[in-house]
Amino acid sequence: MCLSAPVSFAASIFPVGNGTFATWKAWQINKRYLSVALVPAFAGMQQFMEGNVWPGVNSGDPFTVL
C-alpha cells in the first residue's frame, strides 16, 4: 500500500498479528507448517519497513530510501 507512512504502519499490524498466531498454532500442531505460517508475518514486517521509507521520500533524504 503506497499511500502514506501511517497507512503502512496500520496495515502492518494485522499481518504481523495473524502471522504470529499462525506460527504459534503451527508450532503446536505440526512444525512442518512453520514456513507457510511465517509468510503473513514477513509480509507485515515488509509493510512496516515500507512505512519507514516514507519519511525519506517526503524529505528527499536518499539514505533512508535505500
Contact in structure between 47 and 5 (CB atoms under 8 Å): no
Say if residue 53's pLDDT is above 90.
no
pLDDT tens digits, 2-39: 788 888 899 899 999 999 999 999 999 999 999 999 99
pLDDT the model gives residue 29:
95
Contact in structure between 4 and 54 (CB atoms under 8 Å): yes
Say if residue 58's pLDDT is above 90.
no
Per-domain boundaries in the chain: 1-30+52-66
The Cα-based distances of 26 to 31, 40, 62 in angstroms read: 6, 13, 40
More confidently predicted of 2 and 48:
48
